[in-house]
Structure 1
Amino acid sequence: MDMQDCIEYCLTKTGSIHDYQPLWEADRVKVAGKIFAIVGDLNGRPSITLKCPPALAERLRDEHQEIIPGYHLNKALWNTLFLNGKLEEALVKNMIDISYQEVSALLPAYVKKAMAAGENPQAIK
C-alpha cells in the first residue's frame, strides 16, 4: 500500500475526514476531531502512524522490522509503519482498522450515537 491508498482506506471509516498539517508536513485522518492516522514521510521514507493496544504495538515491532515506535507520539500506544512494500496490505489495513477502533472507543457516548445515526461527528458539539 502506498500513502494515498492508506488515506483512501482510512476515509472508508464512518465519520472520518482528511486534512493536511503543514507544520508536520503530514496528512491526518480524524474521527470526531481525534487523529487515528498520520501519513507522511519519515526521513524520506513513506509511512503511516497508527494507534494500537500496547501489547500488540510491542509484538508488531518485534515481528516486523518495518514497524517502529510512533514517531513524536506515545511510544506505548502508537506505531509507525513504513510503506515500502514489505508489509502485507492486509496487515496495514488491519492496523488502520484497529487504530480507528481504538480512537472511536474513546469518543463520548453522544458522539457515537450520532455517528450511528449517520450524523457528521465533526459537527457535533
Structure 2
Amino acid sequence: MKYNWLDEYCLSKKGAEKDFQVDWNATRYMIRGKMFALQGCNKENKPIITVKLDPMYGDFLRRQYNDIVPGYYMNKTHWNSLSLDGDVPDDVVKDMLDKSYELIFNSLSKKVQKEITGSADTP
C-alpha cells in the first residue's frame, strides 16, 4: 500500500475512532458512530479507501484521476473509492479525507460538535 500514513492521519482528526468490521473485512473510521472513511478491498482484492464527498467534487476528482471511482458498495453519488496502489498525490488524498471528515462532523449536532472540539470552534 502506497499511503502508509492513512491510519495515523484519519485518527489524528478530533473525535475520530476506528473499528474493524469483520463482515466487510474492512476498517471503519468514524466520528460518534458515523463513518467518514472505509479502508478495505474491492472485488479484485485490491486495497481501497472509500470517503464521502460533495457530489460535484467527487465527480471532478473521478474525471482527474483514474484511481478514483464511484464508491465501492456505497452510494455512487456521495461516496468515492480510491485505489491505495494508485498514483493520486498525497495532498489530494489528504484533502479527500479532510473533506469527508468535515462533511460528517458538520452533520453532527452543535452540542456534539462542541463536545468533540471542547469549544464552539469547528474542526
TM-score (norm 1): 0.89
1:8 partnered with 2:8 = yes
1:17 partnered with 2:17 = yes
Identity %: 37
Q: 3-state DSSP class of the match of 1:38?
A: strand
Question: What's the counterpart of residue 49 of structure 2?
Answer: 48
Q: 3-state DSSP class of the match of 1:74?
A: coil
The CA distance in 2 between the partners of 1:31 and 1:4, in whole Å, is: 21
8 Å Cα contact 2:69-2:80 kept in structure 1: yes
- How much is the aligned-residue C-alpha RMSD, in angstroms? 1.4
* Higher relative contact order, chain-length normalized (CA < 8 Å, sep 6+): 1
The CA distance in 2 between the partners of 1:63 and 1:116, in whole Å, is: 34
Structure 1 stretches of 4+ with a deviation exceeding 6 A read none
8 Å Cα contact 1:68-1:80 kept in structure 2: yes
How far 1:3 sits from its partner (Å)?
5.7
Unaligned 5+ segments in structure 1 are 119-125
Question: What's the counterpart of residue 122 of structure 1?
Answer: none
Q: Which moved more, 1:95-104 or 1:39-48?
A: 39-48
TM-score (norm 2): 0.90
Amino acid at match of 2:116: M
How far 1:2 sits from its partner (Å)?
3.7
Aligned length: 118
Per the alignment, do residues 40 and 2 of structure 1 end up closer, same or farther by CA in structure 2, a change over 3 Å counting? farther
